[in-house]
Chain A
Amino acid sequence: MLSAGGGVAAERAAPLSRRARLLSTRLVARDTWWQEFDCPDIAAASLPGQFVMLGVGLDEPGAWLLPRPFSVGWTGPGGEVGILLRAYGQGTRALAKLEVEQTALLLGPLGRPFDTESAEVECVAGGVGLAPFIFLAAREAAAGRRVRLIYGERDAAAVFDPALIARLTGHDPELFTEDGSAGRKGLVTAGLDPASGALLLGCGPTPLLRALAAFAREHGRRLQVSVEEHMGCGIGTCQGCVVRGADGRWVKACIEGSVFPAEELDWGAI
């Protein structure tokens, strides 16, 4: 596969489709749930930056829901797959109502992961863009490495429980809120250090990714972004999730991303 960060990228596993039991679900912030599914083989195969399509399948009479993409937010020692779910619309609201012991259909791991091989890393997360960095920071901590984790939300009510982040990742995030009701006041980009040479990883709303791309360009920093696009299938067949590539092509976020080195995208069109 392509190497996004200059190092040797890990081999991607073939996707698996699994009906998985919801082990726990917890309201962790306004409209935001942390769900853990019992799905050992997808957990074992996942790499930070990859995602799963989460849906209810076709078994429920009358139910119709296209699956939604979620970053793999964590994998547990018992084969758990954790996702961070913010209810924005009908689909995510329906998935948020899943109860413990109910099952859902997981398809994954999907997409291109972050490539952080032997690099010093700074993760910049906006909102539920935090999810892939929980996974990444936990992996790094397990390997005895530290990452910088900068996390921004609109206000305190939207902030994912910092104690749970610390428990899952072994890292304390540097928190920013736009209104200053938790952490430091300001946009998450206020936490960027122009003097650092670390590899930047970004995940969150498009304006954040655009700001990160501008910062990286200005300061000569390497940047990988995980883009959020609406997807139909997650495996490249529906061609619904395209973004404009730097070469002018429509590139599929699901299989060519969802992690892209910033220079592969046309930031004027995103």
Chain B
Amino acid sequence: MLLASGTCGYGQEYADLIPLDEIGGLVTKAVSLEPRPGNPPHRVAETPGGMINAIGLENPGLHGFIAEKLPWLREHLSRAQVFVNVVGHSAEDFAAVVSGLDGEDGFLGYEINVSCPNVKGGTMFGTDERALADLVARLRGCTERPLVIKLTPNVPDVGDFARICEEAGADGLSAINTFPGMVVDISRREPLIGNRSGGVSGPAILPMGVYATWRARQTCGLPIMGIGGIRNAEDALQYVLAGACLVQIGTASFVDPGAAVAVHDGISEYMTANGVARLEDLVGALQARPGRGPAIPAG
């Protein structure tokens, strides 16, 4: 299990609150080639069953990340695996960040963010089959480290884009990023968020993330990190059964910094209670037959 990008900073912020080395790892806040100041406020708001954010990928840039953030990760984490989330305006930007980081220690691999709804062109690569294939192939040539593509749900069929990533040489997928959304302030008759629109996360998007994971599992053989709306072990196990071999905890950490630990422990309890020896036995173990409604009686 990993803490999701954009919800755990660069790890240090959670060091006093949870045992990072015991939960699996984390995905850093996005890193771009140049520093980004981020969007003007208002940047976050609660929504029914979730939240909306439009941070605008604020980050210190490649060199700032290497100088200010990576040393802490390298020196303080031993078992936790770190993926660096990478963003860019162009294929050249993405490639420059990956190439610039590749000789550094302190992280395992990359999560390529082709799916941010909060910046101009943020989903450009994630919604164009040809552009995505070219980008993944290019980045494959830049690194031998694990290359995970974070998919956007804003496409007709996530499965098509999952298959493209596999064919172009990716090692894994993260499914899914946020959904674009908007909150209207009816007293001022204007958007609530400074960026006007933002990305919606939280429990409201759980079924969409599970579905995207299932579709990706059907069309490709890549390992999938399930992400979107996970609050507890039951939510995480839906992703696992749909095909995820790892899960990421995002917005739930804001509600309870210990959410990832509780999910981790809850999955172990489920496995013990159900006689499951290895989590792999559950990955994609969803029966593809028609559903029959809740197993417990109504009322």
Contacts and interface: CB of A to CB of B under 8 A. Distances in A.
A107 B40 CA distance: 26
A231 B46 CA distance: 10
B75 interface: no
Given A58-B231, A67-B254, A239-B55, A17 B41 contact: no
A229 interface: yes
B126 to A, nearest CB: 22
Given A58-B259, A67-B255, A250-B58, A232 B44 contact: yes
Contacts of B44: 230-232, 238, 240-241
Given A240-B55, A250-B58, A229 B254 contact: no
Interface string B24-42: 0000010000000110111
Interface in B1-49: 6-9, 13-14, 16-17, 29, 37-38, 40-46, 48-49
A55 B55 contact: no
Contact of B253 (A16, A64, A233, A249): A233
Contacts of B16: 14-15
A235 B232 contact: no
A186 interface: no
The binding surface of chain B is classed by DSSP as loop
Contact of A64 (B13, B202, B259): B202
Contacts of A231: 44
A251 B34 CA distance: 18
Contacts of B7: 233, 237-238
Contacts of B53: 232, 238, 240
A65 interface: yes
A251 to B, nearest CB: 11
| Interface size range on B against A | 35 or more
Contacts of A81: none
B255 A55 contact: yes
Contact of A66 (B17, B40, B55, B254): B254
Contacts, number: 97
B37 A250 contact: yes
Most B CB contacts (10 A, CB to CB) among A65, A229, A235 go to A235
Given A230-B42, A231-B44, A57 B255 contact: yes
Contacts of B8: 237
A168 to B, nearest CB: 29
Contacts of A55: 255-256
B43 A240 contact: yes
A58 B51 contact: no
* Size category, A interface: 20 to 34
A208 interface: no
Contacts of B255: 55, 57-58, 64-67, 105
B70 interface: no
A233 B254 contact: yes
A243 B41 CA distance: 7
Interface string B252-286: 11111111001000000000000000000000000
B202 A235 contact: no
A242 B194 CA distance: 11
A183 interface: no
B50 A64 contact: yes
A17 B254 contact: no
B223 interface: no
Interface in B78-105: none
A58 B262 CA distance: 10
A16 to B, nearest CB: 8
A191 interface: no
Contacts of B17: 15-17, 107, 235
B212 to A, nearest CB: 21
B58 A65 contact: no
Interface in A218-261: 229-233, 235-243, 249-250
Interface string A53-77: 0010110000011110000000000
A133 B14 CA distance: 29
26 contacts: A16-B17, A17-B257, A55-B255, A58-B232, A58-B255, A58-B256, A58-B259, A66-B254, A66-B255, A67-B254, A229-B41, A230-B45, A231-B44, A233-B254, A235-B13, A237-B7, A237-B29, A238-B44, A238-B53, A238-B55, A238-B254, A240-B44, A241-B41, A242-B41, A250-B37, A250-B41
Interface of A: 14-17, 55, 57-58, 64-67, 90-91, 105, 107, 229-233, 235-243, 249-250
Given A17-B258, A239-B29, 12 more contacts: A17-B256, A57-B256, A58-B255, A64-B202, A66-B255, A90-B46, A230-B45, A233-B7, A237-B253, A239-B43, A241-B44, A242-B41
Per CB-CB distance, the 8 closest pairs between chain A and chain B, nearest first, are A240-B44, A14-B16, A237-B9, A240-B43, A232-B44, A66-B46, A233-B254, A57-B256
